[in-house]
């Protein structure tokens, strides 16, 4: 918790970044909403999906992508300059510290970048209200699970730094896959049905699309419980994979020099 708070406070010291983050997020939201509005034209719905649903989907996923922001070069930089050895001497778990700092930065971006931009957006367009106030806690629970899924995927790729000179290219490819296959860039409603079925067997759908569907009331009863169970299952599976890569990577680590 202390690491998360310190990271949060650290981000608050950069005032220009603070204001530019609001402007950048607001412009991104407005530009994409203009594109979607132009695509819809005078059509009220496309394949049963209204413009308000698409706008709400995009705004929520953009907010979550702000929260799900990580410094994915952190581990690679530590390995390159050899300072990773100092991290192992500290009486703190390196992975938990990394997770806490990422969470602190994500909280800062949600509060000071996304929420002000959201207020600006509400002056421009009307978003769908939550179907149920009681469903909001369930949605936030799903958001937390989605955060863990994406963080574990990111951490697994970061651990490849133990074997590869640079993971920048792999991280870039991963980000493209996540943007497309998670519904962050284009709602999965508009994906071909065969592709939707394939994506249901991947962790990508659980990152952004599941919380959005809960907010819009598309998931309820057994479907809701199943979606949450799938998220938990992916966290368990990815957690095991991340642990294996981390332990093998630490044993592989060789640092030369002083």
Q: Is the pLDDT of residue 202 over 70?
A: yes
Q: Is the pLDDT of residue 154 over 90?
A: yes
Quick one: tokens of 112? 């000071």
From residue 141, give the alpha-carbon distance in Å to each of 97, 160, 203.
Answer: 22, 30, 16
Higher local confidence (pLDDT), 119 or 160:
160
Residue 135: per-residue pLDDT: 79
CB 96 within 8 A of CB 4: no
CB 246 within 8 A of CB 71: no
Backbone angles phi, psi at 182, to 5 degrees: -90, -10
Please state the rounded mean pLDDT for residues 67-93: 85
What percentage of the chain exceeds 70 in pLDDT? Answer: 99
Q: Is the pLDDT of residue 213 over 80?
A: yes
Count of residues in the chain: 258
DSSP 76: H
Q: Closest Cα partner for 150 from 187, 203, 198?
A: 203
Quick one: tokens of 218? 């598309």
Please state the rounded mean pLDDT for residues 181-207: 87
DSSP 181: H
Q: Is the pLDDT of residue 258 over 60?
A: no
What is the distance between the alpha carbons of residues 185 and 175, in angstroms, rounded to a whole number? 11
Q: Is the pLDDT of residue 58 over 80?
A: yes
Give the start-end residues of each E strand in 3-139: 45-46, 49-50
List pLDDT tens digits, range 13-45. 777 777 787 788 888 888 888 888 888 877 777
Q: Closest Cα partner for 144 from 44, 27, 64?
A: 64
What is the distance between the alpha carbons of residues 153 and 151, in angstroms, rounded to a whole number? 5
Confidence of residue 124 (pLDDT cuts 50, 70, 90): confident
- Do β-strands 45-46 and 49-50 pair in parallel, antiparallel, or remain unpaired? antiparallel
Range of 19-23, 99-103, 124-128, 226-230 with top mean pLDDT: 226-230
Confidence of residue 153 (pLDDT cuts 50, 70, 90): very high
Angle 40-27-174 (CA atoms, 0-180°, nearest 5)? 85
Confidence of residue 225 (pLDDT cuts 50, 70, 90): very high
Residue 256: per-residue pLDDT: 64
Backbone angles phi, psi at 49, to 5 degrees: -110, 120
Please name the residue that has the structure tokens 């969470």. Answer: 103
Q: How many CB atoms are closer than 10 A to CB 213?
A: 22
Q: Is the pLDDT of residue 63 over 60?
A: yes
Please state the rounded mean pLDDT for residues 44-70: 82
SS3 248: helix
Backbone angles phi, psi at 203, to 5 degrees: -80, -10
Residue 253: per-residue pLDDT: 82
Q: Closest Cα partner for 141 from 189, 187, 206, 201?
A: 206
């Amino acid at each position: 918790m202390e690491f998360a708070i310190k990271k949060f406070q650290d981000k608050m010291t950069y005032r220009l970044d603070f204001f530019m983050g609001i402007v950048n997020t607001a412009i991104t939201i407005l530009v994409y909403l203009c594109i979607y509005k132009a695509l819809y034209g005078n059509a009220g719905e496309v394949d049963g999906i209204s413009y308000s649903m698409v706008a709400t989907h995009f705004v929520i996923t953009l907010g979550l992508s702000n929260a799900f922001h990580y410094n994915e070069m952190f581990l690679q930089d530590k390995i390159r300059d050899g300072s990773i050895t100092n991290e192992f001497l500290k009486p703190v778990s390196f992975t938990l510290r990394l997770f806490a700092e990422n969470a602190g930065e994500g909280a800062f971006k949600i509060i000071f970048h996304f929420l002000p931009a959201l207020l600006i957006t509400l002056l421009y367009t009307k978003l769908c209200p939550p179907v149920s106030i009681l469903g909001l806690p369930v949605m936030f629970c799903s958001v937390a699970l989605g955060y863990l899924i994406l963080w574990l995927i990111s951490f697994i790729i970061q651990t490849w730094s133990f074997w590869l000179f640079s993971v920048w290219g792999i991280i870039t490819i991963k980000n493209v896959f996540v943007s497309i296959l998670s519904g962050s860039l284009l709602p999965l409603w508009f994906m071909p049905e065969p592709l939707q079925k394939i994506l249901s067997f991947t962790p990508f759908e659980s990152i952004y699309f599941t919380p959005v569907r809960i907010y819009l009331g598309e998931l309820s009863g057994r479907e809701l419980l199943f979606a949450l169970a799938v998220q938990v299952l992916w966290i368990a599976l990815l957690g095991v994979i991340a642990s294996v890569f981390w332990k093998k990577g630490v044993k592989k680590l060789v640092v030369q020099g002083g």
